[in-house]
Chain A
């Protein structure tokens, strides 16, 4: 089948109008996957709390590993099924822990996912959120070593992919949370969620994704539809387990022994919100001369091509248009042939040597 492997990024924690909420870039991902035949994207795009979807044309790759893939450090290997282990933060209350364990059991019994085991960290992770340094969400965890140690324990038991559930402060009445729920602000915890999963990717080199542990919050009649997927259950774990269930294996490069399904040299395009060109994957793509498709998707950043002047960048108004460009690239159609006015081909002069 003809494909045009494409990386699709919606950076976490920058308040994207599409993708800054609860898996609300998933429809765009499905569209781009259909156009490209092969889309590599990250949990922030695919995870909608209790809702998610599998797509044979989508590789689900955690953000740190996605950056490594774009840099050419790793390749991806399709698997039929991952053996998933779950790390629970010691700081999680028993009731919430039980809810999450029931989700894991449900994913085994109803969806046929291989959730193998879980481990509770020796110490609480102690999440510290710093939401508003630059209208971006972020923060750190005080005890990263206990997270890594718990992950090592799971891998020693034969686990091949890791879901992490960390306790986040229950601040449902905070201004940031309320603004976010009404569709106007930045997800206050997503930046820190990325840090947690990046740690596992960096130090343990396995597929992983994160779900926060939070108590259910009061009904909000003004809830934005884009945030609704996070309000229809007790946990955020289902989408993580669905995504990880057949996330690709990470293959360190160079490697001549492992079968590789997708090599980074096959990537042709990166789709990213306009203003968010300052991430590592995009800069790595620019180094390689890839097509960068910059989509109008309002967010808090203003790192645009005005400062880069990168020639292989297409600015488009929406993901429908991005899908059209990917289709044209896939079929080898000159984009200028479709635009009007159409210039005559230019004459190039040369002098005798």
Chain B
């Protein structure tokens, strides 16, 4: 097993409700590895797309 620390941006579409946000992020993370630790470390309202937000995720993954 190898651990890696990652930071990346993820668009939060308007179609994903707040109550489904966690599952949405997990689904993205699980494509990258086995999730050890994660959190949203920043959010910004996207300037271009109406209502969309940009999440900054930090995670430690195992592969």
A interface residue numbers (CB < 8 A to B): 11, 63-64, 130, 133-134, 136, 138-142, 144-145, 148, 194-195, 198-199, 202, 276-280, 283-284, 286-287, 301-303, 307-310
Contact = CB atoms under 8 A, between A and B. Distances in A.
User: 9 nearest interchain CB pairs?
Assistant: A278-B40, A283-B22, A140-B3, A307-B43, A279-B39, A287-B19, A278-B39, A144-B1, A198-B36
Interface string B22-63: 100000000000001111111101000000010110101010
Given A195-B37, A279-B39, 19 more contacts: A134-B41, A134-B56, A138-B60, A140-B3, A140-B4, A144-B2, A144-B3, A145-B1, A195-B3, A198-B37, A277-B40, A278-B39, A278-B55, A279-B40, A286-B18, A287-B22, A302-B42, A307-B43, A307-B45
> Which of A63, A286, A287, A308 has the most B CB atoms < 10 Å from its CB?
A287
A136 B42 CA distance: 12
B53 A283 contact: no
A310 B18 CA distance: 8
A211 B38 CA distance: 21
Interface of B: 1-5, 7, 18-22, 36-43, 45, 53, 55-56, 58, 60, 62
Contact of A278 (B3, B7, B43, B60): B43
Contacts of B36: 64, 195, 198-199, 202
Contacts of A284: 22
Contacts, number: 75
Nearest to A277: B40
Contacts of B4: 140
Nearest to A12: B37
Nearest to A67: B37
A159 to B, nearest CB: 22
A169 B43 CA distance: 33
A205 to B, nearest CB: 14
Contacts of A138: 5, 58, 60
A278 B41 contact: yes
A303 B43 contact: yes
Contact of B21 (A63, A283, A309): A283
A194 B19 contact: no
B9 to A, nearest CB: 12
Contacts of B43: 278, 302-303, 307
Given A136-B58, A144-B62, A280-B39, A286 B3 contact: no
